[in-house]
Each structure stands twice: as C-alpha cells, then as structure tokens.
C-alpha cells in the first residue's frame, strides 16, 4: 500500500495534467504517480550505468592498489564454528 502525498498545482497545470491523464486512461493520481516512478527509475538507471562505467574504467587501478584481497585483515580460512544444535 502506498503513502498519500499532497501537491499544489497551478490551475492551468492541473487542467493540463488531468487532460493528459484522461487521454491515458488514468486518474490524475495515477498519472502523477507514473511520472514520479518513471523519473526515479530513470535516475536509478543512469546512476547504475555511471557506476558500471566508472568501475570498468578503474578496475586495473583498483586491482593494482588492492589486489585480490578484497577484505584486508580477515583470516585466510573461515573460523571453526560449533554446530547449531550443539549444547
């Protein structure tokens, strides 16, 4: 279930938005929600593409600096643990 949000629109903008919503077979609320969701998803996709590009461009530099050990300070082998059903 979504949260309710109130917005204020200029009369002309509201009328235009209602018209566009009606042409798409949506309520004004559905139209506005779709616009916001599309914008958020586009921003997320742009961020992920940028992050991917950055990682691809600097992989060699990271490997040279950090090497294979991604978590310095951790032991080489996992610690022995007691079985879950141990008393």
Of the chain, the percentage scoring pLDDT greater than 70 comes to 75
Round the average pLDDT of the chain to a whole number and report it: 82
Nearest to 29 by CA among 9, 43, 52, 44: 9
Confidence band for 28, pLDDT divided at 50, 70 and 90: very high
Of the chain, the percentage scoring pLDDT greater than 90 comes to 34
The answer to whether the beta carbons of residues 28 and 21 sit under 8 Å apart is yes
Q: What integer pLDDT is reported at residue 39 of this predicted model?
A: 86
Please state the pTM of the whole predicted model.
Answer: 0.51
Higher pLDDT, 17 or 84: 17
């Amino acid at each position: 279930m979504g949260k309710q949000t109130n917005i204020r629109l200029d009369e002309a903008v509201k009328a235009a938005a209602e018209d566009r919503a009606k042409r798409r077979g949506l309520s004004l609320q559905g139209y506005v929600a779709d616009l916001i969701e599309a914008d958020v998803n586009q921003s997320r996709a742009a961020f992920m593409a940028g992050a991917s590009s950055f990682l691809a461009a600097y992989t060699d530099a990271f490997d040279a600096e950090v090497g294979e050990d991604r978590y310095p300070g951790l032991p080489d082998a996992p610690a022995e643990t007691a079985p879950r059903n141990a008393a």
